[in-house]
Amino acid sequence: MGRSESSGRRNQQAAIARAKREWECIADALPQLLCLLNRSGEILRTNLIVERWSLGQVRDVLGLGLHRLLHRDCTAEGCHLRDSLIGAWQELLQVGASEFEVVDPTLGKAVKVEFRQMPDTADERDRMSSSHAVCIISDVTQLRLAQEGQRVLNQELETRVQDRTRELSKAVRGLRAEVARRETAENSLRNSRNELSLLSEQLMKAQESERKRIAQDLHDAVGQSLSAIKYSLERAVLMLAAPQLGNPLKVINKTVEHVQNTIDEVRTISENLRPALLDGLGAVSAIRWLCREWSEVFAGTEVEINLHVTDADVQEPLGTALFRTVQESLNNVARHAQASRVAISVITETDCLRAEICDNGVGFEPDGAAMRRGHGLSGMRERAANTGGEFFISSYPGGGTQLTLLWPIAHQKTLGVVALCAS
């Protein structure tokens, strides 16, 4: 029996030794640095990683503390690794486990340090009273580099997304601005077309009205005069054929008087259509004539004239536009303004020709509807635009009306400005 027990004991010891060697081989194959520590934090056993990390030989590091193992010659008071190890060890003693992670320039690695209590018995209740602890130190450098690379990539991607988002936002704003500009242009074009259509309609109506007036004048004045002349000539012929009817000389003299009256009527109609002074002398003379004729017809309205320019200062086609604008303005004063005074002035300034017509009439609200009510305002604007000018209007109810037209003159000529003011 003694020999059998001895043999069993040897077999058991051999099995334990074999298991110990196998466990040591497993520990040496791990990539982490494993250290078995006593309660004082001194290394009792470690694996071969200590040699792979060039921290020393396994047999030479036994009995060292972890800080001395990792920082062999460190004497710095504020060593971050030592402070971290001390804090983790104190936490281990209190709760039975602790860990931290640090990037250590001395090791040239980012390491994760974990502490775990090693129970001396299988009873978990004795864990806190264990006299041994294990320290697992993992090299997480590649992991942290990968994480940092991922963070940088994410940041770059976020930056690119933000930049692209800003570019797209800018492009969207540009597209919206372009759409708004196009809508504005389309609205302006539509309004221009409407105004052009309205102006064309007003022009046709004005033409028909003028034709009707001319036809009426010709019928009432010239037509009747020609009928009277025809009757007088027929009477004179009868008198020549039958002397007993009387002396035809008296009839012929009366006919000559009718002819002269007809000539005067034709001249008046012609002057109303286009004054001969406008072509013969110029716009300033034509405006003087127009004002005199207008003041005779509308004697209840005082007319003040201040023309400090000559006909040579207002050349064609500006002269015709200026005359027609003044003519249409005076017509508006007569028809709509109910004014007791109108003042007309034409002067030359440093770089412009300025003409003003001011009345103290009732005025109106110069909105879009007023421009389309047949006051000739659209025609004035169109006339100014066709001669390279600009049109302005200012008026309010009870305060009169002000119209302004500006005509730039090429080749150092003066600007033509027509302002029709109501006060």
Give pLDDT tens digits for 299-319. Answer: 888 888 888 888 888 877 788
For residue 290, being part of any structural domain is answered with yes
Q: What is the layout of strands, in order, in the sheet containing 109-118?
A: 43-46, 33-38, 132-139, 109-118, 97-104
Which residue range is the domain that position 294 belongs to?
Answer: 282-422
The one-character DSSP state at 334 is I
Q: What is the layout of strands, in order, in the sheet containing 390-395?
A: 302-307, 341-348, 352-359, 415-422, 401-407, 390-395
| DSSP states of 102-171 | EEETTTTEEEEEEEEEE-SSS-GGGGGG-SEEEEEEEE-HHHHHHHHHHHHHHHHHHHHHHHHHHHHHHH
**Separation CA 287–CA 196 (nearest Å):** 29
Cβ–Cβ under 8 Å, residues 111 and 140: yes
For residue 145, being part of any structural domain is answered with no
Tokens representing residue 235 in the block: 């009477």
Which residue from 317, 312, 333, 285 is spatially nearest to 383, judged by alpha carbons? 317
pTM strictly above 0.85 = no
Question: What letter represents residue 61's amino acid?
Answer: V
For residue 400, being part of any structural domain is answered with yes
Number of domains in the chain: 2
For residue 252, being part of any structural domain is answered with no
Under the banding of pLDDT at 50, 70 and 90, the label for residue 419 is: very low
- Please state at what angle helix 248-273 crosses helix 224-241, rounded to 10 degrees: 160
pLDDT of residue 162: 93
Domain boundary among 139, 161, 187: 139
Domain boundary among 121, 139, 157: 139
Under the banding of pLDDT at 50, 70 and 90, the label for residue 134 is: very high
pLDDT of residue 150: 93
Tokens representing residue 354 in the block: 């300025």
For residue 344, being part of any structural domain is answered with yes
Tell me the pLDDT tens digit for each residue of 184-223: 999 989 888 887 787 777 777 777 777 777 777 777 667 7
pLDDT of residue 121: 56
**Separation CA 88–CA 164 (nearest Å):** 47
For residue 192, being part of any structural domain is answered with no
For residue 231, being part of any structural domain is answered with no
Tokens representing residue 310 in the block: 């000559």
pLDDT of residue 374: 52
C-alpha to C-alpha distances, 240 to 138, 252, 253, nearest whole angstrom: 149, 11, 14
Which residue from 356, 355, 372 is spatially nearest to 364, judged by alpha carbons? 372
For residue 63, being part of any structural domain is answered with yes
Domain boundary among 79, 111, 139: 139
Under the banding of pLDDT at 50, 70 and 90, the label for residue 418 is: very low
**Separation CA 394–CA 358 (nearest Å):** 12
Which residue from 96, 182, 101, 79 is spatially nearest to 133, judged by alpha carbons? 96
pLDDT of residue 194: 84
**SS3 of 397, please?**
coil
Its sign, for the CA torsion 174, 175, 178, 184, is negative
CB count within 10 Å of CB 94 equals: 10
Q: What is the CATH number of the domain that holds 355?
A: 3.30.565.10
Tell me the pLDDT tens digit for each residue of 103-125: 988 888 899 999 998 876 555 55
Query: What's the mean pLDDT when you consider all of the chain?
Result: 81
- Looking at per-residue confidence, does 47 or 349 come out higher? 47
**SS3 of 405, please?**
strand
Average pLDDT over residues 2-12: 71
pLDDT of residue 165: 93
Helix ranges, 30-79 (H)? 49-52, 58-61, 66-70
Tokens representing residue 247 in the block: 């002396």
pLDDT of residue 373: 56
Cβ–Cβ under 8 Å, residues 127 and 109: no
**Separation CA 130–CA 118 (nearest Å):** 6
Q: What is the CATH number of the domain that holds 101?
A: 3.30.450.20
Which letter, b or e, does each residue of 239-277 get, where b requires 16 or more Cβ atoms within 10 Å of its Cβ? beeeeeeeebeebbeebeebeebbeebeeeeebeeebeb
Q: Is the peptide bond preceding residue 317 cis, with omega within 30 degrees of 0? A: yes
**Separation CA 231–CA 276 (nearest Å):** 32
pLDDT of residue 396: 82
Cβ neighbours for 114, distance < 8 A, ≥ 6 positions apart: 97, 98, 99, 135, 136, 137, 138
- Looking at per-residue confidence, does 137 or 121 come out higher? 137
- Decide if pLDDT at 400 tops 90: no
